[in-house]
Structure 1
Amino acid sequence: MRTLAIGDIHGGLQALIQIVERAKITPEDQLIFVGDYVDGWSESAQVIQYLIELSKTNECIFIKGNHDVWCEQWLAFGDINDVWYQHGGKETIESYNSLSKDDKQKHLDFFEAMPLYHLDEKNRLFLHAGFTSMHGVEKEINKQTFYYDRTLWEMALTMDKRIDKDSLIYPNRLKHYSEIYIGHTPTLNFGKMEPMNAINVWNVDTGAAFTGPLSAMDIETKEVFQSDELPILYPNEMGRNKS
């Protein structure tokens, strides 16, 4: 059985379908998604429907991202966050126009069931963005940190790799877990279209919301599978590439 960590999808159903095909995903594979399933491209509701069906054949873990929180609030209460609306929410709302009330309720249930992080039997941590507590995720006070924080990734990027894990100056945050898998901060920001590694942190958000592909990584072998770049799959759309 493989375990694949899959990056931020942002409404790109066609990219998700390509990943399933190119990674040759079978029912024996465990799939861990690091959040942000919606907002950007035109098929957010369809992505959620596809994932619900996928979870019937595969063991899936769906981590909650910040865009998923916004969509959940809209489905539950009709709340339209202004920031959300301008950063993909408009397209997500439009994608739900053809769905029935029952389907919308099923999607709300899906969002509400999402964990904020997952820790596996090999002490590998999966979450959308990061955490700040030096004592680990269990001691994080502000739960929004799990889907907004960027300091974990920034810290890992700037660390001197010569610092030994037993050193007094090695960050306590990183000592708790053998590996940490995140999304949220596109690797495009650093000129990369593939997952990036810094210390024991792996960033699998390769910018599918913008001009990058969707990526999946086999967490044992580190083999990477990628879709086409999203503008190729949605040539008549802008995604989140708005001026």
Structure 2
Amino acid sequence: MRTLAVGDIHGGFKGLKQVLKRAEVTTKDHLIFLGDYVDGWSQSAQVIDYLIELSSYNKCIFIKGNHDVWCEQWLAEGSVNDVWYVHGGKETMESYEGFSKTQKQAHLDFFEAMPLYHIDDENRLFLHAGFTSMHGVRKEIHREAFYYDRTLWEMALTMDKRIQQNSDLFPNRLKHYKEIYIGHTPTTRFNKYEPMQAANVWNIDTGAAFTGRLSVIDIDTKEVFQSDTLMHLYPEELGRNK
């Protein structure tokens, strides 16, 4: 059985289906999704429908991202966050046209059940963005950090590569876990189009919401699978996306 971590999808249903096919995913594989399923390309509601179905025959964990928090609020209350609206919320609401109240409720239940992080049996941490507590995620007092924080990744990026995990110089925030898998900050910001490693942190968000691809990584072998660039899968939507 493989454990596969899946990066930010952002409504790119075509990319999701393509990358899972390229990874030759079977029902034996354990899938850990790192959040931000919605907002960006035009098929957010279709992504959620597919993931709900996928979880019926695959072992899946769906971490909650910041875009998922916004969509959840809209489904629950009808409230439209202004920031959300201009960062993919408009496209997400449009994708729900024709969906019944029952279908929307099923999606709301799906969002509400999402954990903010997951720690596996080998002490590997999975979450959307980061955390700020030097004592680890269980001591984090700022819930929003799990889906907004970028300082964890920024710290890892600036570390001297010669510093080993057992060194006194290795940051306490990172020492708690064998490895940490995140999304949230596109690697395309650093002109990288594949998952990036810094210290013991792996960033799997390869910019599917923008000019990049959707990525999946086998966390044991570090083999990477990728979709085509999403803008080429949705050429008719260029210009309307972020």
TM-score by length of 2: 0.98
- Deviation (angstroms), 1:241: 4.1
Residues 181 and 204, structure 1, Cα contact 8 Å, conserved in 2: yes
SS across alignment from 1:217: strand
- Deviation (angstroms), 1:167: 2.9
Write the mapping of 1:1-243 to structure 2, written as runs, cut at 5 A: 1-238=1-238, 241-242=241-242
SS across alignment from 1:138: helix
Q: Which amino acid aligns with 2:83?
A: V
Distance 2:116 2:166 in 1: 29
SS across alignment from 1:214: strand
- Deviation (angstroms), 1:165: 2.5
Q: Which amino acid aligns with 1:77?
A: E
Compared CA separation, residues 31 and 172, structure 1 to 2 (3 A): same
Distance 1:8 1:44 in 2: 12
Compared CA separation, residues 41 and 153, structure 1 to 2 (3 A): same
Q: Which runs of 5+ in 1 are unaligned?
A: none
With 123-132 and 166-175 compared, the bigger mean Cα shift is at 166-175
1:92-117: CA deviation from partner (whole Å, max 9, x where unpaired): 00000111110000000000000000
Distance 1:40 1:118 in 2: 25
- Deviation (angstroms), 1:169: 2.5
Distance 2:167 2:229 in 1: 41
- Deviation (angstroms), 1:146: 0.2
SS across alignment from 2:38: coil
Aligned residues: CA RMSD: 1.0
Compared CA separation, residues 88 and 110, structure 1 to 2 (3 A): same
With 12-21 and 160-169 compared, the bigger mean Cα shift is at 160-169
Q: Which runs of 5+ in 2 are unaligned?
A: none
Compared CA separation, residues 239 and 120, structure 1 to 2 (3 A): farther
Compared CA separation, residues 127 and 213, structure 1 to 2 (3 A): same
- Deviation (angstroms), 1:238: 3.0
Q: Which amino acid aligns with 2:216?
A: A
Percent same amino acid at aligned positions?
75
- Deviation (angstroms), 1:79: 0.7
Residues 41 and 241, structure 2, Cα contact 8 Å, conserved in 1: no
Number of equivalenced pairs: 242
1:2-22: CA deviation from partner (whole Å, max 9, x where unpaired): 000000000000000001110
Q: Which amino acid aligns with 2:111?
A: F
Q: Which amino acid aligns with 2:165?
A: K
- Deviation (angstroms), 1:168: 2.7
Compared CA separation, residues 216 and 68, structure 1 to 2 (3 A): same
Residues 163 and 170, structure 2, Cα contact 8 Å, conserved in 1: yes
Residues 16 and 214, structure 2, Cα contact 8 Å, conserved in 1: yes
TM-score by length of 1: 0.98
